[in-house]
Amino acid sequence: MITRPFKQVDVFTSKPYFGNPLAVVLDGTGLSDAEMQRFAAWTNLSETTFVLPPTPEAAAAGADYQVRIFTTAYEMPFAGHPTLGTCHAWLENGGVPKDQARIVQQCKVGLVAIQRAQHEGGRLAFAAPALQRKEPSEALWQALPGALGLTPQQLLAAQHLNNGPQHFGVLLDSVDAVLAVQPDLAHLQALMAQHGFSGLGVAARYDTATSAPLIARSNREARAFGARADAAPAEAEPDLEVRFFFDRGDGIGEDPITGSFNASLSQWLIAEGHVPSTYVAAQGTCIGREGRVHIAQDATGQVWVGGDVSTCVDGTVRL
């Protein structure tokens, strides 16, 4: 065992402990797959990452570093909050990218570009990987209301979404419906196994004529009446509310904030005209988090998925 630099960061939030935590081992050289998997299971976080030098081929193509991403049960080809969290930790640990405005990460899905806003502590945003999507079968569409505890009228549209991870997205008719979802966990797990997706997300747009949740209302009130100097920064008011349910390997759980799903969801919703090309998604509201995912499509059509990252633990680990 050797001592390796280590950080635990909170992703998609400017308020530490209100986002999605990630463990980052900043030097994974010499570790076997089994050792990485064992440590990821021990952290008991949704994901743990290990930073490695890029392969020669990836380095020649511009990669600054390589990342391996593990859940408690298996390795992932790509994931959003580990991408932003690892990049933040790598930069904070002294990593120097070839291009100061553009970091290139190698992972199992290929090379992922990450932009850094041009100011001190600028927000990071990754380029959403190419998306493959398709309509659900009639049988799956008919099964969804029962699995989600909703009426058929509350479901507006749905798609299989594949950007490395295979997910399924459902657009609902109201934010209230999103917040009220109480899935039949056994039914949902059976649908995932039958139709080949590892997670299912629901989303709905906020009606601009109605109030956002209490979190957003309190943010508006803080700005109107003045906030204490020591108060935590207010998160951005959302345009979209998102929830995501995934198979953890030991049952179905709800993810605090899911970058990969928001990446594929945004590409689908923007392409179909359900949302504008720039918006902010909230996730984690029902489980005490205040995640904010910043979506922007550039002039070339590339969708960028951004979020704030806070370092919560900084030290070393023996592995």
Residues that are catalytic: 47
Buried b (16+ CB within 10 A) or exposed e, 59-96: beebbbbbbbbbbbeeebebbbbbbbbbbbbbbebebe
Please give the sequence-ordered ranges of beta strands (E in DSSP) within 3-64, or none if there are none. Answer: 3-11, 20-25, 48-52
pLDDT tens column, 122-171: 899 999 999 999 999 999 999 999 999 999 999 999 999 999 889 999 99
**Count of beta carbons in the 10 Å neighbourhood of residue 195:** 16
- Count CB neighbours of 287 within 10 A: 12
Contacts of 130 (CB under 8 A, 6+ apart): 163
Instruction: Say what the pLDDT of residue 103 is.
Output: 97
What is the model's pTM? 0.89
For the chain, list the domains and their CATH numbers: 3-128+308-318 (3.10.310.10), 132-297 (3.10.310.10)
Query: How far apart, in whole angstroms, are the C-alpha atoms of residue 265 and residue 47?
Result: 20
Nearest-angstrom CA–CA distance, 169 and 95: 35
> Considering the chain, what is the average pLDDT of its residues?
90
- How does pLDDT run across 11-66, given as a tens digit for each residue? 999 999 999 999 999 999 999 999 999 999 999 999 999 999 999 999 999 999 99
pLDDT-derived band at 175, boundaries 50, 70, 90: very high
Q: Is the Cβ–Cβ distance between 291 and 256 less than 8 Å?
A: yes
Mean pLDDT, residues 255-263: 95
- Which residues are within 8 A (CB) of 114 and not within 5 positions of it... i.e. 6 or more apart? 83, 84, 87, 102, 103, 104, 105, 124, 125, 126, 127
- 206, burial (CB in 10 Å: exposed 0-12, middle 13-18, buried 19+): buried
pLDDT at 234: 61
Specify the range with the lowest mean pLDDT, choosing from 46-55, 65-74, 94-103, 205-214. 205-214
Q: What is the mean pLDDT of residues 89-99?
A: 96
Residue 221 — pLDDT band, cuts 50, 70, 90? very low
Strand partners, 303: 297
Distance CA 261, CA 308 (A): 17
Res 252: pLDDT: 82
User: Contact at 8 Å (CB) between 80 and 258?
Assistant: yes
The pLDDT of residue 226 is 35
pLDDT at residue number 215: 43
The band of 117, judged by pLDDT with boundaries at 50, 70 and 90, is confident
